[in-house]
Amino acid sequence: MEKVHILPTNTTPEYFLDPAGTIKIKGRAIDESRRNAPEQINDWIDTYILDPAETTEVTITLEFLNSFNTIILTNTLKKITQVIQTGKKLVIHWYYEEDDIDIFERGEYISSLIGVPIEFFPIDKISDC
């Protein structure tokens, strides 16, 4: 299994997927032209959950996240939570700009939907993370 790195655009976040157990999502998630995460990401996760690392660490750092992409991110994270069923550990870190209550609350909402706690970390600027 190989690493996947999808570069960001003005409307889609950067994705970094490493079979060693690191998943990073960073940037802006405001594209409304697709219904799901890119097929490459879904395929990678499907393969990864068959033999995940001992600990999977998901880091999310989003400066914009609209309602449409909240659904896509929630579905992606639900899929990733399947690593827990294999007896492995899942840690999700959610970084948000200190004064961006909307992004923080979306993270809390997603945490309640996927049934997995998310650790929240305020930062000064997204570019610092």
For residue 60, give the CATH number of its domain: 3.30.750
pLDDT band at 29 (very low <50, low <70, confident <90, very high): very high
Residue 111 CA to its chain's centroid (Å): 11
pLDDT band at 38 (very low <50, low <70, confident <90, very high): confident
Percent of the residues in the chain that have a pLDDT greater than 70, as a whole number = 93
Q: What are phi and psi of 69, to 5 degrees?
A: -75, -20
How many structural domains comprise the chain? Answer: 1
Reported pTM: 0.91
Question: Cβ neighbours of residue 90 under 8 Å, at least 6 residues apart?
Answer: 55, 56, 58, 80, 81, 83, 84, 116
pLDDT band at 35 (very low <50, low <70, confident <90, very high): low
Q: Where are the alpha helices (DSSP H) in 81-122?
A: 101-114
- pLDDT tens figures, 84-127: 999 999 999 999 999 999 999 999 999 999 999 999 999 987 66
pLDDT band at 44 (very low <50, low <70, confident <90, very high): very high
Domain encompassing residue 111? 4-128
